[in-house]
Copies of this chain bind each other. A is one copy, B any other.
């Protein structure tokens, strides 16, 4: 499969589909944006026109039959992911799938089995692993620069809450937001959660409680390695998108600060002032979206294991289920409980 381009079809032409399509069309090496599908045909056509893509359709299944298409990037609504994975695997297409695979454990397992059986690659879209800042922290941990990890500390706060309508269908804070942080705990520590406690409340907007969710939370956990981890989340940081991680170990500590749109410093009689953190995930994680798709293309072309596997898609869902149970039952919940349910 050397020296040729990987032909990828993007399925789903919403916000994230557009982003991946643009990156595939202009920034990813050794690949080609071969088709775009969306249930709303004009959305698919708009992207196709903009990036000179030969094929736009409202029927993704029609793409799965094309022999010229090597892989799909699933960017459709979350509740369609599992089904498309099953179909794409059956059609022998490699799969890049936005998180989550699904929120139902059985369906996830069915997907993982289908993928394994078909012998195709599946990479899950935990893009933050490819953020240069977090990747550097992981590198420092993995190369032993901080010794044995003892404490993982993550602050992850959104600049503004999503619409209440979204909260009602998103699966809640732990599944639409913390899931990235759950992945980050695993990525940074190289270990798995063993038990979890979640405390949370609707402090930003009381209506969120009515929707059965929380908007502020602290999730604490013990990992199999013995390390401890704590995540704090808020739906609304008025100063911008606050995304920091820290790993503390026996020989040191690795952390990151937020990125800012510029590095200016203004000193005046009121104090010393700098820019707010980058405001939104498109800016903050711009490079990571490019890097994760490039990694997917590379792993397919070189027949390597995907850097974010199906198992990596499953584990944070288990953690989310444990956190949700802990929040509800006000107790420490083990991952074992969740798995054996």
Of the candidates B201, B250, B254, B262, the one whose C-beta lies within 8 Å of that of A264 is: B254
Interface 9-mer from A53-61, A78-86, A230-238, A297-305: A230-238
User: Does A121 have its Cβ within 8 Å of any Cβ on chain B?
Assistant: no
Question: A169-206 interface mask toward B, CB cutoff 8 Å, 1 = contact, 0 = none?
Answer: 00000000000000000000000000101011101100
Interface 9-mer from A64-72, A100-108, A143-151: A143-151
User: Does A19 have its Cβ within 8 Å of any Cβ on chain B?
Assistant: no
Contacts of A195 in B (CB 8 A): 199, 330
User: Does A126 have its Cβ within 8 Å of any Cβ on chain B?
Assistant: no
- Cβ A145 vs Cβ B266 within 8 A: yes
A247-294 interface with B by 8 A CB criterion: 248, 250-277
Interface 9-mer from A5-13, A30-38, A41-49, A212-220: A212-220
- Cβ B259 vs Cβ A263 within 8 A: yes
Q: Which residue of B lies closest to A272 (CB)?
A: B274
Chain B CB within 10 Å, residue with most, of A132, A257, A264: A264
User: Does A127 have its Cβ within 8 Å of any Cβ on chain B?
Assistant: no
Of the candidates B145, B250, B263, the one whose C-beta lies within 8 Å of that of A258 is: B263
- Cβ A153 vs Cβ B256 within 8 A: no
- Cβ B257 vs Cβ A228 within 8 A: no
Interface 9-mer from A88-96, A111-119, A133-141: A133-141
- Cβ A227 vs Cβ B203 within 8 A: yes
Of the candidates B217, B226, B229, B271, the one whose C-beta lies within 8 Å of that of A274 is: B271
- Cβ A132 vs Cβ B262 within 8 A: yes
**Supplied contacts A220-B220, A271-B275, 16 more A-B pairs, CB within 8 Å:** A133-B262, A136-B262, A140-B264, A146-B266, A195-B199, A199-B222, A204-B250, A230-B232, A236-B250, A238-B251, A239-B252, A239-B269, A253-B268, A254-B264, A256-B264, A331-B332
